[in-house]
Amino acid sequence: MAGLTHDDIFYTLETTRILREPDRRIDTFGATRFEFHLISELMDRAGEVRVREGRIEADRPRILKPEGYEDLVFDGFGEYAESFRQWFRESGGDLAFLKYGFTFSKTDLSESLVHDSIEAVCDRVVAEVESRGNPLRAVIVGVDDTWEISLLKFTMDMIQRSHQINVFDFKRRGLL
């Protein structure tokens, strides 16, 4: 598939669920690394679930230059990241958090196939993550073919949740 339609992106954004979000937010003045498990059901095979694990990094927020959205960089993501960037540019979003530019990169990616129901896999992964107590680990359920969009949605959600803390920190230092 050379690119995604707006409907493909919208479907992925609407169906992606965060089962466990990290306990921490994006740091205002330093890079933040989150670890993730992204669970997706294979579309063409019943009872098979893919579990991807990796890290995603969000650079420290910065105040956008007037030219805006060109600062969004998705390092290491595949062909769908550009479709997402275009959709994001056209759809706008919450202008308040768009005062920030971020660079995202995903690293240490691994994946495995599990022969079970998606509900059972989700329950096991969440229980395992919670038992380890890592405050930077997330569990996400997404769409297999467009899983990177699901991961980007998680990251954008983390930006929105971090926004007030980041604004407070910038104001306290006289930067806003």
Paired tokens of 60: 């420290």
Model confidence over 32-88: pLDDT tens digits? Answer: 888 899 999 998 887 899 999 988 887 777 665 434 555 566 777 777 777 877 776
Paired tokens of 82: 């550009």
Tell me, what's the pLDDT at 172?
86
Q: Cα–Cα distance between 35 and 114 in angstroms, integer? A: 20
| Residue 71 CB contacts under 8 Å (≥ 6 apart), including other chains | 62, 64, 65, 101, 102
Measured between alpha carbons, how far is residue 175 from residues 11, 101, 171 in Å?
A: 38, 15, 6
pTM for the full model?
0.73
Model confidence over 95-115: pLDDT tens digits? Answer: 434 344 445 566 778 899 999
With both helix axes pointing from N to C terminus, report the angle between 147-172 and 6-15 in degrees, rounded to the nearest 10. 70
Q: Count H helices and E strands in the chain, helices first.
A: 4, 8
